[in-house]
Structure formats: structure tokens, C-alpha cells
Structure 1
Amino acid sequence: MKRLVFVNLLLGIPGIIYYWVMALMVIRTPLTSWGQMAKDWYEANSLLPMQSVLGPPLAICTMIWVLSNFNVISHRTDPGEHGTLGSNAVSWSLAVAASLIPAAIVLLIATFF
């Protein structure tokens, strides 16, 4: 479990950028305007520029996160935890929580400044 937490803490560091940009996007545009179509796709307030800039790197980082966690979870050395459905759910939820810790720390520090 220590290896799983350590790997996800390291993988969560690049995620800080995505959480920050998504927080800026939420602050800048109201949630009610997200479902509406923009008149011009290249308009400054449409979501297309944000999706085209953040989409491919976010997809690549998500694939790296899933593959590395699959590798760590499937190669555990604890014989009692390997292969059960409950332990896999706990491991994946621990992986998600550990990868959110760096972003939460940065956002907490940012609230004070």
C-alpha cells in the first residue's frame, strides 16, 4: 500500500495544473452556460479552446495513471489482499484519494494568498 500511495502522490503532481485550470474555468464562466452552444467555435468564451488545449495531455496522463495503478495493484506482494474484489475497490479508491492530495495542498495554500 505504501508503494501505491507513493506512486499516486507523484502522479498527482502534474494533475495540479489541470485542477487549477479547471478551477479557473469554473470561476470564469457560470455552470449554466456550459450546455449552451457558442455561436462561433473560436469565440473566446466557448469551451473548444479549453478542450483542444487540455484534452490530449489530460487523456495521455489519464492513460499513464490507469496503467501505472493497474501495474502496482496487480503486482502486490500481500497474499491475503490479492485478487479479492473488495481489496481492489479499496486500492483504486486509495489511488484516487492519494492522487488528489497534491492538488488539495496547493489549493489550500492558494486560499491563504
Structure 2
Amino acid sequence: MIRDLAEYKKVTYDTEALKELLVAIEAVSVRRDLITHGQWGFVDGTHFVLRSTGNWPKQPVAIGAYTGSRRVMPEGVKMNLPELRTLRADIIKLLDMAKTLEKSFNFAL
């Protein structure tokens, strides 16, 4: 969307900074979603977040046509204070990258 708006408004910016930001966002968003939406547990003094992977058909062929269950492979992901601090630091880096990208925009064309 940033690219589209910049092109529409004929604004120049650092394209490499945007590419790096997008890659970093992908890496952080998976972990962020896991801790905010996951099911938390506590086993032997360690906090875990339950990650469920599997596949679910996007759309049944007809109403009521799909029978069966989703294959789910739950996995506990360790999520103690050091892991949360690392995620926090990565989010702060994303904010810094976004500020750097913002500074690269040239609105005076």
C-alpha cells in the first residue's frame, strides 16, 4: 500500500528501506500473533504458547458437503521473559526502521 500511495502521489522514497521493513515485519508478526492470540500454558516452571498448525479447506464444495475434522498438530513454544524481551526489541527495531523509511520520503516534487 505504501508503494501504491507513493506512486499515486509521485513521491520518492528509499525502496530498499521499504523492502527491509517488509521482511522484518513478516518475521515479527508471526511471533506477535502467537503471543497475543495463542493459548498459554505453564509446565515445569516454563511458560508455553500453544501453536496449532494444520489445514482446513477454504470453502466446502456445497453447504454441508464437508465432513471430517481438521488435522491439527499442536506444539508448545517456549515463551519466557527472555523470548518476550527479544520480541519487544525486534518490535522496537521495526519502529526505528519505519521512522528511517519515513525520513526518506521526498514530498517536495
TM-score (norm 2): 0.39
TM-score (norm 1): 0.38
Flag the structure with higher strand content: 2
Greater relative contact order structure (CA < 8 Å, 6+ sep): 1
Greater Rg over alpha carbons, structure: 2
Flag the structure with higher helix content: 1
